[in-house]
């Protein structure tokens, strides 16, 4: 007479990704990849030669001296055969990276 309750739990890729706390670098990569994906829908992939970081993001990276973000993004886009450019008004401090 008693009924057993059976609960099935499966992990999908999306579930696993939401369980991993994002780092700043992975969040920026995800954002840029999402933006790039939208452009690839309109432009042929071969026409995208470089990704330029907006000056606000570049200035924040420079102000807080977190060059590892620039290095990680350069490596990330290098694997996609896309260059990485930095837009800045503070070229002297940005050149340190």
Q: Name the nearest CA neighbour of 90 among 68, 67, 63.
A: 63
* C-alpha to C-alpha distance for 58 and 67, rounded to whole angstroms: 10
Q: What is the sign of the dihedral through the CA atoms of 33, 35, 36 and 38? A: positive
Q: What is the mean pLDDT of residues 53-81?
A: 88
Q: What kind and span of H or E run contains 33?
A: helix 24-42
Confidence of residue 38 (pLDDT cuts 50, 70, 90): confident
Tokens standing for residue 41? 């829908």
Helix (H, G, I), strand (E, B) or coil at 80: coil
Q: What is the mean pLDDT of residues 69-89?
A: 90
Strand segments, DSSP code E, in 1-97 are 50-53, 83-86
Residue 76 — very low, low, confident or very high, per pLDDT cuts 50/70/90? very high
DSSP letter at 50? E
Which of the four pLDDT bands, split at 50, 70 and 90, describes residue 7? very low
pTM of this prediction? 0.67
């Amino acid at each position: 007479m008693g009924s057993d309750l059976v609960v099935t739990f499966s992990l999908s890729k999306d579930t696993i990704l939401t369980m991993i706390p994002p780092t700043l670098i992975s969040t920026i990569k995800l954002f840029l990849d999402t933006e790039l994906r939208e452009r690839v829908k309109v432009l042929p992939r071969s026409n995208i030669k470089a990704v330029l970081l907006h000056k606000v993001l570049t200035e924040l990276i420079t102000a807080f001296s977190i060059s590892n973000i620039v290095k990680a993004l350069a490596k990330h886009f290098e694997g996609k055969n896309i260059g990485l450019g930095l837009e800045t008004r503070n070229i002297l401090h940005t050149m340190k990276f």
